[in-house]
Amino acid sequence: MDLLTTLVDKGLRRESPTREEALAVLATSDDDLLDVVAAAGKVRRRWFGRRVKLNYLVNLKSGLCPEDCSYCSQRLGSKAEILKYTWLKPEEASEAAAAGVAGGAKRVCIVASGRGPTDRDVDRVSQTIAAIKEQNEGVEVCACLGLLSEGQAARLRAAGADAYNHNLNTSEATYGDITTTHTYADRVDTVHQAQAAGLSACSGLIAGMGESDADLVDVVFALRELDPDSVPVNFLIPFEGTPLAKEWNLTPQRALRILAMVRFVCPDVEVRLAGGREVHLRSLQPLALHLANSIFLGDYLTSEGQAGKDDLAMIADAGFEVEGTDTTTLPEHRADALAGGGCGGHGGGGCGPCGDGDGAAEAVAGDGARADADASAAGEARTDLVAVRRRGAGTELPPNA
């Protein structure tokens, strides 16, 4: 396909595709799917080889969030029967993180539900970061605490945080349909604050919430402009008890096309296969490793994931290797820019005025209408694969790592 040849050439040069080209990737047929994966895989291998970075989530505070994000099982008014608990002590969080590091995780993502941290919360998280780093030499720590106030990003950076996650989740045009208690602009501002403080920015999306192809392309192009170092791609887990409980809109094939589109638009960025991969990609998860160079190991915030040992076996069987702590994840040009206080490097894109907290959470989930083939996804929904987390942080049971 001429389209794929063009997209590969652009990706190898770190050039952006056009919106029309990105939309065309989402519109490709199932017959062309393996060609799409192979093409995006060339771009992935150019910048990240066959390495897979492992990340591990620790839910510091679960449930009882005052925000009304429709996709989230921790939202205000959620009837989802998830674990609910207040802040883990630093030593408890460090113990939970150690399980992920022992399983091969290079980055620990510490997440807390809520609109955003108070200054006291930042003090508490700073102690947790110190405890994790003291016990786990060389591990990266990414904080995900919601909307940041002035100066909080700098305090987290001084405490030893390496990165900050705050997802855009969906397009600006449709954001108000998903959340009303804060704005899309609030999220963009928090990512800018993290970048300005020298933190590696992590910001991504949730697919499967009823959005159009145009919405998906809009949010991914917005992410390219924002220029985070890592982009988690979540697929909605429609939890019972949330407003999006009936939104089963994804097939494994569509999930792969979405990942391929993200890779073409963000060729040299750490693309992370995040929440919902087990539910929506299912047996096609190994193919997704040709598109994403990073995954979450084990469980998520409020849902259970694939067994950690199965993740490791999948990576090995697919011919990939787990990235070690002695390896720099980002390509040299991005790593150098981050070390120098910049944020990324898409030539003309930039990261705006440089100078959720759900971090993959439970979602960590056609122009105007989807393609007919994808519209039938509801008939193929695997609701039995949605499992509420009952182990790990906040419980007496060992974590899955």
Taking only the tens place, the pLDDT of each residue in 160-202 is: 999 999 999 999 999 999 899 999 999 999 999 999 999 999 9
Catalytically annotated residues: 65, 69, 72, 109, 142, 202, 272
Contact by Cβ (8 Å): 111, 359: yes
Contact by Cβ (8 Å): 113, 74: yes
Q: What is the pLDDT of residue 363?
A: 37
Question: Taking the CB of residue 396, how many other CB atoms lie within 10 A of it?
Answer: 5
In the block, which residue shows the tokens 């910001």? 203
As given in the structure block, the two tokens for residue 319 are 């011919």
pLDDT tens digits for 282-326? 999 999 999 999 999 988 777 778 889 999 999 999 999 999 988
* Neighbouring-strand partners of residue 55: 107, 296
- Choose the weakest-confidence range: 23-32, 117-126, 231-240, 389-398: 389-398
pLDDT confidence tier of residue 84, bands split at 50, 70 and 90: confident
Summarize the confidence of residues 338-361 as an average pLDDT. 47
Residues ≥6 apart with Cβ < 8 Å to 218: 171, 172, 173
Q: What is the pLDDT of residue 358?
A: 38
Does domain 2-385 bear CATH number 3.30.1360.20?
no
Q: Is 60 exceeded by the pLDDT of residue 346? A: no
Residues ≥6 apart with Cβ < 8 Å to 247: 208, 209, 210, 236, 238
Q: Is 60 exceeded by the pLDDT of residue 372? A: no
Show me where the domains of the chain are located. Answer: 2-385
Separation of alpha carbons 47 and 30, rounded Å: 26
Residue among 152, 129, 203 at smallest CA distance from 356: 203
Separation of alpha carbons 289 and 48, rounded Å: 11
